[in-house]
Amino acid sequence: MNTVKINGDFMTPLKFYLITDTHYFNAELGAEGKAYEEYMKTEAFYLKESSEINKAVFKKLKEDTETDLIIIPGDLSKDGEYKSHKALIEELDALKDEGKKIFVITAGHDYNEHGRSYKNDELVKVRGTTLAELYDLYFEFGYKDALSVDKETLSYIAEIAENTRLLALNCDSKRETKGTIDERLLNWAKEQIDKAKEDNAYIIAMCHYPIIPSVPVFDLVGDAHVKNWREIATFLADNGVELVLTGHMHIQSINEFVTEKGNRLVDICTSTTVGTPGKYRKIEIDENGKMDVKSIPVCDFTFPDKFKSEEEFLDWRFDYSVKNKINKILEGGSGITKTLKNFGGKILNSIKLKTIAKLLFIRIDSSLKDVKLIDFAGEIGTAIFKGDQPFTQGTPEYEAVLKALNRFGFILKKVEPKLSKNGVKVDLKAMILNTIGNNKGYSDNDTTINLKG
Ligand SMILES: [Fe+2]
Ligand SMILES: [Fe+2]
């Protein structure tokens, strides 16, 4: 196969599927009854339907006989149920039998001593899986071909194509340190990178947590990216790693980070298969380092008649569960707390944007006036996770949010210094506006990036 020189490294043209956060659930464990219905009121992703949705994706991958490589950056099972792992591995084995090479990394939803299922209206404890067991379970899907394994975290490095290595960094192997790539793991990674350089091999990284926050406001959310993300991104980029494949946030996003030395890291974060936005990716890197990213919707699975499409079915669960979650927060309490919560709930569920605009003395576009606040928030929330957020400058939604933010300018200015860390200043207005509208100049879903930077 052809090898080419990129930024001093050598790599082979590469074509692979990237799917993540399959959250596979073996429906045989039980997913019915009152306890299940209650749980699903606030669960944003499908559980009973999970195996069928994932099987539909695997069928598509099988049909593409020209692409042999599949990369899965974690949260393989719903919540670590042993039988879910076994059922997923059966699917992966079938793909392997078709000639596919599969590389996975495990994450927080994959080890859990106490799995759960739902039977006869009750929540039932089922056999879970330990971290140590994951090594044996997924041995065929990464560890077997590894040049080195860090047994403590189940990180590894493996040759995925001629002169091309996958550095699988597991930042989610312990509850207490989730999202952490510590100094010990960084030292191991540095050794692997140096060895790869000696062997003239090109490195692509994979990590369950995004390295770069998927949207600007996620910088403020601790669990939305690896800890000390700027430091980790700098480490990777300055050591010649240009691309990292991530999941965890169930979001479609592509981001770049440029270090002080001018080196760039591209982070491709991909959605779950079992909920909105329900996408996976096909990525092709040619001999010149030109990377084409295509996002493909999960499709061809059975869904109830009342929905028009798979997309509508996936969107509905997210919308329904988020609204229920908010209302749950606003339930309960006693005395004055209960009264305030009830009042807050009523306002949130019924207040229209025209009323808020009046209260804030701002003008909003007539198309938004009769939209309820809860529906407006829901629409923006769903759009954030789909990527290519449409609410850019000039749209009624952007202008309404901008005017509201301007009204609260004095509060934002008070809060911003408290949110700033390590000398990095926070500009909340810009963060929010760049989160609801994609201003990056390229798509989060389908885009072409030159890895040569
Ligand atoms: Fe996940
Ligand atoms: Fe996760």
Q: Positive or negative CA dihedral for 368, 374, 377, 381?
A: negative
Give the β-pairing of 122-129 and 146-150.
unpaired
Per residue in 72-106, pLDDT (tens digit) is: 999 999 999 999 999 999 999 999 999 999 999 99
Question: What token pair was written down for 452?
Answer: 């040569």
Q: Within a 10 A sphere around the Cβ of 127, how many other Cβ atoms? A: 13
The pLDDT, as a whole number, for residue 421 is: 82
Each residue's pLDDT tens digit, 207-233: 999 999 999 999 999 899 999 999 999
d(CA 253, ligand 1 centre) in Å: 15
pLDDT number for residue 11: 65
| Backbone φ, ψ for residue 126 (5° rounding) | -125, 170
- Distance of CA 191 from the midpoint of ligand 1 (Å): 29
**What distance in angstroms lies between residue 448's CA and the mean position of ligand 2's atoms?**
27
Cis status of the peptide bond prior to 216, with omega within 30 of 0: no
Measured in whole angstroms, the distance separating CA 319 from the mean position of its chain's CA atoms is 17
Distance (Å) from CA 351 to ligand 1 centroid: 33
Q: What contacts 232, CB < 8 A, 6 or more positions away?
A: 181, 186, 211, 226
Ligand nearest to C-alpha 23: 1
Tell me which amino acid residue 190 is: K
Predicted pLDDT at 4: 45
Contact present, 59 and 8 (Cβ < 8 Å): no
Rounded to the nearest whole angstrom, what is the distance from the C-alpha of residue 10 to the centroid of ligand 2? Answer: 32
Q: Which ligand is nearest to the CA of 225?
A: 2
Residues around the ion ligand 1 (C-beta < 5 A) = 21, 75
The mean pLDDT value for 192-216 works out to: 96
Host H or E run for residue 432: helix 428-436
137 alpha carbon – ligand 2 mean position (Å): 19
Confidence (pLDDT) at 420 = 87
Helix pair angle (428-436, 409-419), 10° resolution: 100
Report how far ligand 1's centroid is from the alpha carbon of 252 (Å).
13
Residue carrying structure tokens 């996976």 = 280
Give the contacts of 166 (CB within 8 A, at least 6 positions apart). 71, 103, 142, 157, 158, 160, 203, 204, 205, 206
| Distance (Å) from CA 272 to ligand 2 centroid | 10
Angle at 171 between CA 166 and CA 177, to 5 degrees: 170
Pairing label, strands 14-18, 279-285: antiparallel
Can you tell me the mean pLDDT for 434-453? 92
- pLDDT on residue 340: 81
Helices H, strands E: what count in the chain?
13, 17
- Which two three-digit tokens encode residue 423? 């000398």
**Residues 398-441: tens digit of each pLDDT:** 999 999 999 999 999 999 999 988 788 999 999 999 999 999 99
* pLDDT at 9 exceeding the cut of 70: no
Distance from Cα 221 to the centre of ligand 2, integer Å: 14
Rounded to two decimals, what is the model's pTM? 0.95
> What would the mean pLDDT of 49-73 be, rounded to a whole number?
97
* Ligand nearest to C-alpha 171: 2
Asked if 302 contacts 52 with a C-beta cutoff of 8 angstroms, the reply is: yes
Task: Give the closest ligand to the alpha carbon of residue 111.
Answer: 2
- 352 Cα–ligand 1 center, Å: 33
CB 374 within 8 A of CB 349: yes
Residues with CB under 5 A from ligand 2 (ion): 75, 107, 248
- Counting ligands in written order, which one lies closest to the CA of residue 105? 2
What is the separation of C-alpha 172 from the centre of its chain, rounded to a whole number of angstroms?
14
138 C-alpha vs ligand 2 centroid, how far in Å?
Answer: 18
Please return the burial class of 29, using the count of CB atoms within 10 Å of its CB with bins 0-12, 13-18 and 19+.
Answer: buried
C-alpha 323/C-alpha 92 separation (Å) is: 35
Cα-to-chain-centroid distance, residue 387: 11
Convert the pLDDT of each residue in 101-143 to its tens digit: 999 999 999 998 788 999 999 999 999 999 999 999 999 999 9
Q: Is the pLDDT of residue 5 over 80?
A: no
Do the beta carbons of residue 2 and residue 13 sit within 8 Å? yes
Q: State whether residue 164 is helix, strand or coil.
A: strand
Mean pLDDT of 6-10: 50
Tell me which residue of 317, 275, 320 sits closest to 298, measured CA to CA: 275
Instruction: Quote the ligand 1 centre to 4 CA distance (angstroms).
Output: 35
- Residue 51, pLDDT above cutoff 60: yes
Q: At what angle do helices 396-407 and 373-386 cross, to 10 degrees?
A: 110
The 10s digit of each residue's pLDDT in 277-306 is: 999 999 999 988 899 999 999 999 999 999
Q: Where are the alpha helices (DSSP H) in 351-427?
A: 353-360, 373-386, 396-407, 409-419
Average pLDDT, the chain: 93
What gap in Å lies between CA 347 and CA 35, rounded to an integer? 29
Dist. CA 107 → ligand 2 center (Å) = 6
* Torsion angle, alpha carbons of 241, 245, 247, 250, to 10: 120
Closest ligand to C-alpha of residue 108 is 2
C-alpha span between 444 and 438 (Å, rounded):
8
Note the pLDDT tens digit of each residue in 157-177: 999 998 899 999 999 988 889
Spatial distance between the Cα atoms of 410 and 388, rounded to a whole number of angstroms: 30
Tell me what pLDDT residue 342 has. 81
Given a cut of 50, is residue 2 above it in pLDDT? no
Alpha-carbon span 76 to 154, nearest angstrom: 14
Query: Cα(6) to centroid of ligand 2, in Å?
Result: 32
